[in-house]
Structure 1
């Protein structure tokens, strides 16, 4: 029958107790680290939420020119981007009044609308289209080539678009067409973010 060395076995138990206490201390440290990391993660999520909320405030509205007299724009030989210089609202600064281009600051669904004027007596058609990244999306027109129409005509359209961050939206006056601008600011281009995606 084998003999048991009690002192040796007690040493093994003590060694196991020391290892166990060391492991318990390590587990306590891991719990504390987990609490600290969870708090940091919660703060980061809150910061991102605040940042997205701030970025989500996007709206603009502008008219063609702020003028005391009337201006006929066009006809041009090629399609021409319209620059709505008179900015009424530009929350988020996504609309550029020097280029006429709206650039989406965040991915989301945006709503755009525009109205243009073609006055009576011009004997030309007005035709304006909304473009996204080089592709025509929607358009509107007013026809004054019919002589019996003796009133100003407005035309317009609107659309909701899913845009990626950096997508560009703008209006173009088609070649050989005209629009009119005056003190009453009857030409406008507006857009705003409905919601982020």
Structure 2
């Protein structure tokens, strides 16, 4: 009986030693993980944040105009990083990266089309055209763009086109940095 108790005691002691080794290894992994999380927090806090969303600020119609015209979305919803100008209607990339942009505009006229284009610098990226025919119609577009620092993105209302908006913010332009590159 004494021999069995001694063997049992030795068995438990070996199990305790093994658990101590595992615990030490786990403590090392926890410390390593904590260091990694802290490094990610620091990296994220240093990372530039860029996101904007503006409504037109109109309470009526705009257009038709005789030339293509940059739409100025002047009613701020958000402007993290202040890269969008509500004076010029132009987003200027503060750093090289991949960005996503989206716009929607509303038309109603039975006489004029609803046509807008998304531009990067002076290059037309996409063109969206609707013919409302006296009914409410949205023109919606979006694109993911690789921008260099200083590149400009904006929405133009095409000539002989018309949009309408009111306090419900039917016409908006938004964008955000997906990741720096």
TM-score (norm 2): 0.73
Residues in 2 aligned to 1:185 and 1:141: alpha-carbon distance in whole angstroms: 20
Partner Cα separation in structure 2 for residue 110 and residue 63 of structure 1: 19
Q: How well do the aligned residues superpose, as a CA RMSD in angstroms?
A: 1.9
The residue aligned with 1:20 is none
Q: Structure 1 174/103 Cα, relative in aligned 2: closer, same or farther at 3 Å?
A: same
Q: Which runs of 5+ in 2 are unaligned?
A: 1-39
Structure 1 residue runs without a partner (length 5+): 1-45
SS of corresponding position for 1:95: coil
Contact 1:139 1:156 in 2 (8 A): no
- Report whether the alignment pairs 1:182 with 2:166: yes
- 2:100 alignment partner, one of 111, 114, 124: 111
* Change in CA separation of 1:77 and 1:59 when aligned onto 2, cut-off 3 Å: same
**1:142 — aligned with what?**
130
Native 8 Å contact 1:59 1:89 kept in 2: yes
C-alpha displacement of 1:123: 1.8
Structure with higher Rg: it is: 1
What is the total number of aligned residue pairs between the two structures?
A: 141
Of 50, 62, 70 in structure 2, the residue corresponding to residue 58 of structure 1 is: 50
In 1, are the aligned partners of 2:52 and 2:175 still within 8 Å (CA)? yes
1:32-111 aligned within 5 A: 49=43, 52-53=46-47, 55=48, 57-65=49-57, 70-111=59-100
